[in-house]
Structure 1
Amino acid sequence: MRKIVLLCSAGMSTSLLVTKMREAAAAQGYEADIEAYSVSEASREGADADIILLGPQVRFNLSAVQKQLPGKPVEVIDMAAYGMMNGEAVVKQVKEVLGD
């Protein structure tokens, strides 16, 4: 079971994407716990995550989140996938980064 944490401004705008990602993961038989939080909760919520994904609107926080969570993969969600709420594409991105 992979733990995937999405971070955005307030943890709200990614909620639809989380739903789409859960649906895509289930359809693929990919076991994942996927949750969204505010970027201000990165160090607490990302501590036991396998991967942290930033919404494009908070990509400027990339280096700060990487410093808070050394050794964890921290990626920015592709803007097109985010804009289209393409859960399948984001799950694919996760699987590529994690080598799953």
Structure 2
Amino acid sequence: MKKIVLLCAAGMSTSMLVTKMREAAATEGFECEINAYPVSQSGAVLKDADCCLLGPQARFNLKKVQAEFPNLPCAVIEMQKYGTMDGKGVLADAKALIG
């Protein structure tokens, strides 16, 4: 099972997107765990993650996360996908990161 972590400013704004991503994963039959956390918890929650997606409002933390976890695929969620809560699209981006 893959573990996808979303990071945002407070861990709250991405909760709706997480729900949409979980729905898309269930529809696709993709077994994964998807959760959102504040960036301040990245050290604890990324240790066993398969990929990390940062909300657009937390994009300035990307280099910090990449430096702390150099082998973890990380990216910033596209603003349009985030704004429209495109769970299927963001899940596809996460799957592409995982490989």
TM-score (norm 1): 0.96
Contact 2:4 2:52 (8 Å CA) reproduced: yes
Counterpart in the other structure of 1:63: 63
The one-letter code matched in structure 1 to 2:96 is: E
Which whole-Å CA distance do the structure 1 matches of 2:21 and 2:83 have between them?
14
Counterpart in the other structure of 2:50: 50
Q: Percent identity?
A: 57
Partner secondary structure for residue 53 of structure 2: strand
Q: How many residues align?
A: 99
Counterpart in the other structure of 1:14: 14
RMSD across aligned C-alpha pairs, in angstroms? Answer: 0.6
Gaps of 5+ in 1: none
Contact 2:6 2:52 (8 Å CA) reproduced: yes
**Offset of 1:88 from its aligned partner?**
0.1
Counterpart in the other structure of 1:38: 38
Gaps of 5+ in 2: none
Which whole-Å CA distance do the structure 1 matches of 2:96 and 2:70 have between them?
20
The one-letter code matched in structure 2 to 1:71 is: N
Partner secondary structure for residue 72 of structure 2: coil
**Offset of 1:95 from its aligned partner?**
1.3
Contact 2:74 2:97 (8 Å CA) reproduced: no
